[in-house]
Amino acid sequence: MLDRKLVRDLGRLWAQALAVALVMACGVMTLILALGATRALDDTRSAFYDRTRFGEIFASATRAPENLKSAILSINGVSAVATRVVKPVIIDIAGMAEPATGTLISIPDHGAPAVNQLYLRSGRLPEPGRTNETAIIEAFAEAHGFKPGDRFDVLINGKKRTLSITGITLSPEHVYAIGPGDMVPDQRRFGVMHMRRAALEGAFDMEGAFNDVALTLSRNADADEVMARLDIILEPYGGTGAYDRSDHPSDAFLDAELTQLRAMAQVIPPIFLFISAFLINMILTRLIALEREQIGLLKAVGYSNAAIAWHYAKMTLAISLVGVAIGAVAGTRLGRGMASLYGEFFSFPFLVFSQEPDLYVIATLVTFAAALAGAAKAIWSAVALPPAVAMRPPAPTGYRSLFGGPAGGFRLPVSQLTVMALRHLVRWPVRTALTTLGTALPVALLITSLFAFDSIDSMIDTVWFRADRQDATLTFAAERSEEAIRAVEKLPGVIAAEPFRSEAATLRNGHRSRRIQIIASDPVTDIGRVLDQDFGAIELPPKGMLLSERLANHLALSPGDQVEIELSDGQGRIAFAPLVGVTNSYVGLNAYMSRNALDRLSGQGVQISGARIIVDENMLDELYREIKQTPAIASVALQGVSRDKFRATVEENIGISITIYVSLALIITVGVIYNSARIQLSERARELASLRVFGFTNGEVSSVLLTELAVMVLLAQPLGWLIGRGFSELVAQGFESDLFRIPLIINPPTYAIASLVVLGAALVSALIVRRRIDRLDLIRVLKTRD
């Protein structure tokens, strides 16, 4: 009996129920998506790291004797060590004009490395003793269509060598493989090649020596202690300071993504669940108010309170079930899409979107709980109704004479229709506030996704058009005298060249320290510039240094403080320089000095590490050809290409997420406004029909309803902007890492677009409900009492 009523009620309320179910579906979908993706990444990562024995501590040096290996292995807490020869190279690929860069990494002459093992996708590892065989990472191979047996050229120590591909690999160090100067992976221009140790020792004069070490720890090892000991061992050999996974570029990026996903799981699904709970509350409260007399009758004929509560709970659950079903299907499909998107960025042997049942169970339970929480108060009011009271009409609603004023006295210059709308709004302040909030949240959600455009634009402008304005950065194989800049200027197509010197160093302040590259240029430069907090170019001071804000904060230094500097040149000398200023920089941790200051600090005279160049675009091919044949150039970063790749990648990603967020925002807006309008209409059908009887037009009658909605929707805009700004700030903070940060820039058009989308959706929802006003039954309201 009650179940028949349930089906009939749902049939009657289907549009409202569906709107709520869709909001719930969004909650379920985002929950499954975020949790599923988090698990997928997390599980895959740890499985892959375990299987390949990814290192936990890393360090590099200039040239350390192989016999240090046993000393490293005997550090308390170290379980395995791999010493390697790691060298940057320029790759020359037939048919590709611009030089690619790559990293050569040695694997032991026999067997597999003890740390950072390779996962072989196809082919085999190089034969021991073969000096021209290499196994390359999959992303690079795929970008060029390389298969085992194919060949390409590299410039090893100035000599062109042809390498033969024996296998395609994946490496835990390069799950996220990023080339020098790049901010997003460019698989075409960055390759990682593994060769046998003997081949690399021979090629780089590294017999019996290594310049890179990776190690794993035993359980309960003290990582900081191990790093300190490792630093001491490597210090005489140009050790540049040990670091752990959190500073490992590939893992740090994975971590940043995971942090984002976790934040998403914590913020977005709750928004949807909150709104659906509110909508359920609104619908049930109204339904129960309409069914007062029925409830009284049911109780009078002996239905128990429990039966009545269960009846409305079932209704809530039925709606939730639809939401969960839609959300689960959508979440699973989107999750697969997301996994394949990750597949493009992260090189894992497999990446499966987690579809474990418990995920769905969690999503279902959470949704049911939220819906029932929303329904609880309404259901309680049904249970608490004594049958006798229930069969009497409800007490008339009292209003307050706000917005009116005394008859004949001062009155707001608005029509009585407007007064009706406003009085109704303040009559139910909680509902009005929640509806406003419910409309503000989609605005906020849109701003949170759209602001990335503004921020990235500003970042691109700052990084590539104000700071690093060079077309390319050439890095020499070894430090050169100042004369080298003349040679760079003579390269074909070079319009301007600017020398720089870069030295690895450890900066300290008390117990805080950071290993970074000090970049030194001429005091006034035109190509690569250092920006102050207001994005203006600053002159490098003759003495002292400048630090980027994040680095200064990390070291707890403010301008005027002394920075302790230890160059990683194996000399162990410690110097102090004043911190002159703090700079604005979105990429990396940066320390700047003038070349003079750094030359004095190093005590080795005037030397340069490379040059930033501006290039005539028409001469690029000649320049590239020349660079590939110049042994003295060890590496080249193409800023222009990086910039374009960055923009394209980011825009693709933002494009996808904006599509999702716009859909989510539309669903919330329609869910909130449609339901709110329907419920208003239901509550005020009698009043509105009376107005029609007295000769008000459909338009005028609708204005009562639309004014009320409009007030809430308009109030929601500034609220949404505020919340959106807050969310965006959280997102920007979440992105911030030592690798890069995004500025929080929200341009006025972004606020406007977010508002327009929501206003549009609200208007459409309201107009759908408005059509019902045209169909009001005028005569029926005259025959019945309230």
Where along the sequence are the contacts to other proteins (CB under 8 A)? 396-399, 401, 404, 406-408, 415-417, 419-420, 423-424, 427, 686-687, 690-698, 700, 778-779, 781-786
DSSP 250-269: HHHHHHHHHHHHHHHHHHHH
Nearer to other proteins, 389 or 495 (CB): 389
Nearest approach in angstroms of CB 416 to other proteins is: 4
Nearer to other proteins, 46 or 397 (CB): 397
Nearer to other proteins, 427 or 625 (CB): 427
DSSP 358-399: HHHHHHHHHHHHHHHHHHHHHHHHHHH--HHHHTSPPPPPP-
Partners of 78 in beta bridges? 217
* Phi, then psi, of 769 in degrees rounded to 5: -70, -35
Please tell me the distance from the alpha carbon of residue 444 to that of residue 448, in angstroms, as a whole number.
6
Taking the CA atoms of 61, 63, 64 and 69 in sequence, report the sign of the dihedral they define.
positive
Nearer to other proteins, 419 or 673 (CB): 419
Q: In the block, which residue shows the tokens 């009292």?
A: 398
Structure tokens at 619: 């001469």
Could you tell me which of 680, 748, 754 has the C-alpha nearest to residue 712? 680
Nearer to other proteins, 486 or 783 (CB): 783
Nearest approach in angstroms of CB 395 to other proteins is: 8
Give the single-character DSSP code of 740. Answer: B
Nearer to other proteins, 273 or 701 (CB): 701
Please tell me the distance from the alpha carbon of residue 673 to that of residue 436, in angstroms, as a whole number.
10
Please tell me the distance from the alpha carbon of residue 472 to that of residue 46, in angstroms, as a whole number.
37
Nearest approach in angstroms of CB 285 to other proteins is: 18
DSSP 147-198: -TT-EEEEEETTEEEEEEEEEEEE-GGGSS---TT-SS--TTTEEEEEEEHH
Nearer to other proteins, 618 or 784 (CB): 784
Nearer to other proteins, 208 or 396 (CB): 396
Nearest approach in angstroms of CB 420 to other proteins is: 5
Partners of 500 in beta bridges? 610
Nearest approach in angstroms of CB 711 to other proteins is: 15
Nearest approach in angstroms of CB 381 to other proteins is: 20
Nearer to other proteins, 511 or 783 (CB): 783
Nearest approach in angstroms of CB 256 to other proteins is: 54
Nearer to other proteins, 162 or 415 (CB): 415
Nearest approach in angstroms of CB 408 to other proteins is: 6
Nearer to other proteins, 94 or 779 (CB): 779
Nearer to other proteins, 321 or 417 (CB): 417
Nearest approach in angstroms of CB 389 to other proteins is: 18
Structure tokens at 726: 């807050």
Nearest approach in angstroms of CB 278 to other proteins is: 23
Give the single-character DSSP code of 561. Answer: S
Could you tell me which of 202, 199, 206, 212 has the C-alpha nearest to residue 238? 212
Nearer to other proteins, 426 or 632 (CB): 426
Nearer to other proteins, 596 or 690 (CB): 690
* Phi, then psi, of 134 in degrees rounded to 5: -145, 150
3-state helix, strand, coil in the chain (%, to 5): 55, 20, 25
Could you tell me which of 195, 189, 190 has the C-alpha nearest to residue 165? 195
Nearest approach in angstroms of CB 361 to other proteins is: 47
Please tell me the distance from the alpha carbon of residue 50 to that of residue 216, in angstroms, as a whole number.
11
Nearer to other proteins, 243 or 696 (CB): 696
* Distance from the first to the final alpha carbon of the chain: 27
Nearest approach in angstroms of CB 296 to other proteins is: 21
Residue 83, H or E segment = strand 78-84
Separation in Å, CA 389 to CA 165, 283, 296, 310, 462? 86, 22, 7, 21, 70
**DSSP alpha helices (H): ranges in 196-238?**
197-203, 223-234
Nearest approach in angstroms of CB 691 to other proteins is: 8
Nearest approach in angstroms of CB 5 to other proteins is: 23
Q: In the block, which residue shows the tokens 């709107």?
A: 19
Please tell me the distance from the alpha carbon of residue 412 to that of residue 415, in angstroms, as a whole number.
8
Please say whether the beta carbons of 284 and 375 come within 8 A.
yes
Nearest approach in angstroms of CB 294 to other proteins is: 21
Please tell me the distance from the alpha carbon of residue 3 to that of residue 303, in angstroms, as a whole number.
13
Structure tokens at 714: 């308009």
Nearer to other proteins, 125 or 419 (CB): 419
Please say whether the beta carbons of 317 and 368 come within 8 A.
yes
- Give the angle 282-288-292 at the CA atoms, nearest 5°: 150
Nearest approach in angstroms of CB 769 to other proteins is: 19
Please say whether the beta carbons of 99 and 280 come within 8 A.
no
Nearer to other proteins, 508 or 684 (CB): 684
Separation in Å, CA 743 to CA 23, 549, 731, 734? 31, 13, 10, 11
Could you tell me which of 11, 178, 201, 9 has the C-alpha nearest to residue 101? 178
Partners of 210 in beta bridges? 64
Q: In the block, which residue shows the tokens 């501006």?
A: 614
What three-state secondary structure class fits 105?
Answer: strand
Please tell me the distance from the alpha carbon of residue 153 to that of residue 74, in angstroms, as a whole number.
40
Nearest approach in angstroms of CB 362 to other proteins is: 45
Nearest approach in angstroms of CB 779 to other proteins is: 6
With b meaning 16 or more CB within 10 Å and e meaning fewer, what string describes 7-20? eebbeebeebbbbb
Nearer to other proteins, 427 or 600 (CB): 427
